Amino acid sequence: MRTQVAIIGAGPAGLLLGQLLSRAGIDNVIVEQRSPEYVLGRIRAGILESVTVDALERAGVAARLHDEGLPHEGIELSFNGQRHRIDVHALTGRRVTVYGQTEVTRDLMAARQAGGIPTIYGAEDVSLHDFDGTRPLVRYRKDGITHEIQCDYIAGCDGFHGVSRQSAPAGSTKLFERVYPFGWLGILSDTPPVSEELIYAGHERGFALCSMRSRTRSRYYVQVPSSERVEDWSDERFWDELRSRLDTQAAESLVTGPSIEKSIAPLRSFVCEPMRFGSLFLAGDAAHIVPPTGAKGLNLAASDVLYLADALIERYQKNDPRELDSYSEKCLRRIWKAERFSWWMTSLLHRFPDADAFSVRIQQAELGYLVGSEAACRALAENYVGLPY
Active site residues: 72, 200, 292, 296, 384
Element (H, E) at 83: strand 82-86
* Spatial separation of the C-alpha atoms in residues 186 and 43, rounded to whole Å: 10
Strand order in the sheet with 137-142: 124-129, 137-142, 145-150
Size of the chain, expressed as the number of residues it contains: 389
* Spatial separation of the C-alpha atoms in residues 17 and 384, rounded to whole Å: 24
Backbone angles phi, psi at 62, to 5 degrees: -105, 5
Cβ–Cβ < 8 Å for 96, 88: yes
Max Cα-Cα span within the chain = 64
* Spatial separation of the C-alpha atoms in residues 119 and 103, rounded to whole Å: 18
Which residue pairs, CB below 8 angstroms and at least 24 apart, start in 214-220?
A: 214/68, 214/70, 214/98, 215/70, 216/190, 216/191, 216/192, 217/188, 217/189, 217/190, 217/191, 218/188, 218/189, 218/191, 218/192, 218/193, 218/194, 219/46, 219/186, 219/187, 219/188, 220/186, 220/187, 220/189
Strand order in the sheet with 96-98: 47-48, 96-98, 70-72
The neighbour count for residue 353, using CB atoms within 10 Å, is 10
DSSP string, 230-271: GGG--HHHHHHHHHHTS-HHHHHH-----EEEEEEEEEEEEE
By three-state DSSP, how is residue 46 classified?
Answer: coil
Cβ–Cβ < 8 Å for 144, 157: no
Q: From 11, 43, 42, select the one nearest 219 (Cα to Cα).
A: 43
